[in-house]
A = this chain, B = another copy of it.
Amino acid sequence: MRRFPLVLACSLLLLAPLARAADALLAPQVRATADGLIAAALDDELAMELVTSLTTEVGPRLAGTAQEARARDWAVARLTDLGFANVRVEPFEVPLWVRGDERAEILEPFPQPLAVTALGGSTSTGPKGVAGEIVAFPSLAALQAAPDGSLAGRIVFVDEPMTRTQDGSGYGVAVAKRRATAYEAERLGAVGALIRSVGTDSHRFPHTGQMRRLTEGQGGGVPTAALSAPDADQLRRALARADSVTVRLVLTPQLLPPSRSGNVVAEIPGREAPEDIVLAGAHLDAWDLGTGAVDDGAGVGIVVAAARLLKALPEAPRRTVRVVLFGAEEVGLVGAKAYAEQHAEALDRHVIAAESDFGAGRIWRFDTAVGPEALATTAAIRAVLHPLGIGPGSNTARGGPDLKYLREAGVPVAGLIQNGWDYFDLHHTPDDTLDKIDPAALAQNVAAYAAFLYLAAEVETDFRN
């Protein structure tokens, strides 16, 4: 709480020069158009309608499944209906991992079920499961320090918590255990592994999520599941009250032959420089447990609704605005990689890119990763966004997971950073459902994206310089 007055004071100090920067760089007509887009977006219901439609009519849409294919059909139909140009699917193949049975129970000394879910890419225990004594580690680092072969026949439990943060910075730390535990446990000779969910809630929902990226190496590792936070607490208490706790774990996921996925693309061709692309991304796939409302139906609704407002302008912006709804994000950024490969020749014409993939909370910060000469323009854009409650950020933006390969190829990115305080309460759980989205917050996102995309496509700035 003590930081607020300081932040407020800084914002007020910054606002005046920012407003001057915007005035100087943006023609009055351009500024007025951006302001008009913001006003229109705050009254626009398309984003909420889209995420409602996607999560209701398609629901879960795991990469490579028939449901993800239905999501692509849905997206093509909706984008076409909305009048976008060049609507298309850009297909690629994806490893197909599907969930099976999943359950766990304490066998001794306090028999009772535990709520678990397999991590994406986990191997199978077979239908009879595996049973073993639990060996707990307070962190991944502690697990990594254990000697090879020292846990033969045991089940590893990595009881590392996640820090709740507004900017999601707790995730990067916490997710390491999700990615590495299966393989570390294998090295130790364990027969299975459990992790405290990568999440910040205290509900009985285990959080799934990918282990090592399937594109980096399929299979391997011991069967590994996440425990919900209350179940991790329970197992911790059981261990404190008994000399030995044994658990049975049953996971029967399958890794099937590679399957078809795809990115869905739609455009507003640029008025003067159609080969120059401002990219707005989100991802269409979602984990199988929920209906993918905050991850990432919200992003789909935001970027499509924002682009639709640009389409409704009397004339298209100078540059092309391209919406990319990536496939197969959750299972290892497979769509992101395919996009970067398929568009390798054109990446130098990608002027700037942004992705909405951090839920449905309000945007509170505008980050960029642009060249030094472009900072005056991004400051001008930030001034336009400021009335939405969006404050200054850094020039070290990452720009969203699906922009990883673009960023690595030198494409400038922007980060319209959402408030992620509650995001990891829902992330990758059955509880990621439509009721968790606040329509007013969603509209604020649409307003920020509409103004950003318009300005980025209208100015002549080279964001690389």
Contacts and interface: CB of A to CB of B under 8 A. Distances in A.
Contact of A203 (B56, B230, B234, B431): B431
Nearest to A70: B111
Contacts of A435: 202, 229-230, 233
A160 to B, nearest CB: 17
Contact of A237 (B56, B229, B241): B56
Interface string A427-459: 001110111100000000000000000000000
Interface residues of A, number: 35
Interface stretch (A57-65, A139-147, A183-191, A353-361): A57-65
A105 to B, nearest CB: 10
A419 interface: no
B204 A290 contact: yes
A205 B203 CA distance: 10
A59 B241 CA distance: 14
Nearest to A59: B112
Contacts of A56: 110, 234, 237-238, 241
Interface in A211-242: 229-230, 233-234, 237-238, 241
Contacts of A205: 203-204
How many copies of this chain sit in the oligomeric assembly?
2
Contacts of A291: 112, 234
A110 B59 contact: yes
A217 to B, nearest CB: 30
A200 interface: no
A115 interface: yes
Contact of A112 (B52, B60, B113): B60
B233 A58 contact: no
Interface in A155-213: 202-205
Interface string A407-438: 00000000000000000000001110111100
A112 B109 CA distance: 38
A67 interface: yes
Contacts of A430: 115, 204
Interface string A328-369: 000000000000000000000000000000000000000000
A221 B384 CA distance: 62
Nearest to A430: B204
A332 to B, nearest CB: 24
A202 to B, nearest CB: 5
A159 to B, nearest CB: 14
A430 B429 CA distance: 14
The 3 lowest CB-CB distance pairs between A and B, nearest first, are A59-B112, A230-B433, A204-B430
Interface of A: 52, 55-60, 67, 106, 109-113, 115, 202-205, 229-230, 233-234, 237-238, 241, 290-291, 429-431, 433-436
17 contacts: A56-B234, A56-B238, A56-B241, A57-B238, A59-B111, A59-B113, A67-B111, A112-B291, A202-B435, A203-B203, A203-B205, A204-B205, A204-B290, A204-B433, A230-B431, A230-B433, A233-B434
